[in-house]
C-alpha cells in the first residue's frame, strides 16, 4: 500500500480547493464565490438587464401575490421560513400582502451572511414594521435540521431565486428530501425554478458584455489568492459559458489562456495548467415541469400549484408532502 501523507486542512474552503485543483478535469465550487466581494457582485448581477431571473420572479410574485398569500395562510397563522433570504426584495411583496390581509405570521429569514441579515432586519423595520421578524444566521445544512423544530403550526418554506440550480439533480433530490422530512401534511414548500428557454437568452444572462459575471466567476481565484496565499493571475483566464439544451445545464468555466504554473502557499500546492485547460466553476440548471415533478417525486413531494410568467421564462412551485 502507498503511504499517503496525512494532510490536514484549516477550512472546508482549503480542502475543497485542494481537491478540485488536484482533480482532472479541474473544478472549484461555486458556493465559495460568495465572500463579501462575491455578495456585492451577485447583487450587481441581479440588477443587470441580461439577468432575467430576478425580474421574472419579481413579476410572478407581484402578479400572483394575492393567490400566493391565500395559499400560504392558515387560521392559526404560519411560520414563514426563508432559506437564503438575501436582501428579501422579492419576499417583501408577499410580506406586504400578508400584512395587508391581516394574515398572522412570523417571518424567519435564514442566511449564511450575518451582514445580509442585519440589513434585511433594518429595512423590514422601516418598510413593513407590522411584520414579526426573527432572523437566523446559518448554513442550509444546519438550518434544515432546525426546520423540524417549527412544529406548532403550519410552516411555509421559501427558496427563491432558482438557488437550487447550483445543485446537480442528485444533490437537488437530497436537498428536497431533507426539506420534505421536516414537513408535515399541511406544510408547504414554495420554490423558484428557472425554466428551459431560448439558449441564447441563457448564455447572455451568464456572459454579460460588461464583464460582471466574469468578475464574479474569477472571484474564486481572487479569494484563493487572498485567503490561501495563491498567485493566480485572473487576467490569464477566460470566462466561458456553455448551455446544453438537452440536459438544461448551463456551465461556467475559467480557461487558462496559456501554459502556466500557480503556487498556493497555504495548501503547499503547485498547480500546472496546460494552455486552454479549464476549471469548471458552476452549474446553473434550467428546468421544465416534468423535471421538477420528477425531482419532487424522488424526494417524496408533489407539485400542488404552479405560478409562471406569460412566457414561462421562470416558475414558482408550491410543493406538499
Q: List residues binding ligand AVJ (CB under 6 A).
A: 45, 53, 161-163, 165-166, 206, 213, 216, 282, 284
Residue 55 CB, nearest distance to ligand AVJ (Å)?
A: 13
Phi then psi dihedrals of residue 174, to 5 deg: -60, -45
32 or 105, CB closer to ligand AVJ?
Answer: 32
3 or 200, CB closer to ligand AVJ?
Answer: 200
In angstroms, the CA 241 to CA 239 distance is: 7
79 or 282, CB closer to ligand AVJ?
Answer: 282
270: exposed, middle or buried (Cβ count in 10 Å: 0-12, 13-18, 19+): exposed
64 or 284, CB closer to ligand AVJ?
Answer: 284
Q: Are 279 and 254 in contact (CB under 8 A)?
A: yes
> In this chain, which residue has its C-beta nearest to ligand AVJ?
284
Residue 277 CB, nearest distance to ligand AVJ (Å)?
A: 22
37 or 153, CB closer to ligand AVJ?
Answer: 37
Residue 138 CB, nearest distance to ligand AVJ (Å)?
A: 18
161 or 230, CB closer to ligand AVJ?
Answer: 161
Residue 80 CB, nearest distance to ligand AVJ (Å)?
A: 21
Residue 189 CB, nearest distance to ligand AVJ (Å)?
A: 17
Q: Which of 285, 292, 321 lies closest to 306, judged by CA?
A: 292
46 or 269, CB closer to ligand AVJ?
Answer: 46
18 or 216, CB closer to ligand AVJ?
Answer: 216
Grid coordinates belonging to 33:
464565490
Torsion sign over Cα 213, 200, 56, 60: negative
Residue 282 CB, nearest distance to ligand AVJ (Å)?
A: 6
Residue 53 CB, nearest distance to ligand AVJ (Å)?
A: 6
Residue 34 CB, nearest distance to ligand AVJ (Å)?
A: 9
Amino acid at each position: 500500500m502507498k503511504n499517503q501523507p496525512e494532510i490536514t486542512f484549516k477550512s472546508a474552503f482549503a480542502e475543497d480547493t485542494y481537491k478540485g485543483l488536484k482533480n482532472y478535469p479541474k473544478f472549484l465550487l461555486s458556493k465559495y464565490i460568495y465572500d463579501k466581494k462575491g455578495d456585492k457582485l451577485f447583487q450587481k448581477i441581479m440588477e443587470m438587464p441580461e439577468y432575467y431571473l430576478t425580474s421574472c420572479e419579481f413579476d410572478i410574485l407581484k402578479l400572483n401575490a394575492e393567490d400566493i398569500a391565500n395559499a400560504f395562510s392558515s387560521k392559526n397563522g404560519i411560520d414563514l421560513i426563508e432559506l437564503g433570504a438575501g436582501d428579501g426584495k422579492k419576499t417583501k411583496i408577499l410580506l406586504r400582502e400578508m400584512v395587508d390581509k391581516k394574515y398572522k405570521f412570523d417571518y424567519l429569514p435564514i442566511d449564511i451572511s450575518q451582514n445580509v441579515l442585519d440589513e434585511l432586519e433594518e429595512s423590514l423595520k422601516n418598510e413593513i414594521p407590522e411584520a414579526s421578524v426573527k432572523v437566523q444566521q446559518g448554513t442550509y445544512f444546519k438550518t434544515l435540521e432546525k426546520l423540524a423544530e417549527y412544529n406548532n403550526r403550519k410552516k411555509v418554506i421559501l427558496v427563491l431565486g432558482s438557488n437550487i440550480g447550483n445543485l446537480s439533480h442528485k444533490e437537488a433530490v437530497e436537498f428536497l428530501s431533507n426539506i420534505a422530512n421536516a414537513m408535515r401534511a399541511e406544510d408547504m414548500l414554495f420554490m423558484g425554478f428557472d425554466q428551459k428557454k431560448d439558449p441564447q437568452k441563457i448564455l447572455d444572462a451568464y456572459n454579460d458584455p460588461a464583464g460582471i459575471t466574469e468578475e464574479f466567476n474569477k472571484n474564486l481565484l481572487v479569494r484563493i489568492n487572498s485567503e490561501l496565499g495563491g498567485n493566480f493571475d485572473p487576467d490569464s483566464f477566460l470566462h466561458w459559458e456553455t448551455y446544453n439544451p438537452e440536459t438544461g445545464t448551463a456551465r461556467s468555466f475559467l480557461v487558462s489562456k496559456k501554459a502556466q504554473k500557480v503556487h498556493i502557499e497555504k495548501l503547499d500546492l503547485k498547480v500546472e495548467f496546460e494552455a486552454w485547460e479549464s476549471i469548471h466553476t458552476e452549474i446553473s440548471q434550467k428546468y421544465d415541469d416534468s423535471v421538477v415533478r420528477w425531482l419532487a417525486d424522488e424526494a417524496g413531494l408533489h407539485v400542488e400549484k404552479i405560478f409562471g410568467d406569460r412566457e414561462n421564462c421562470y416558475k414558482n412551485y408550491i410543493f406538499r408532502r
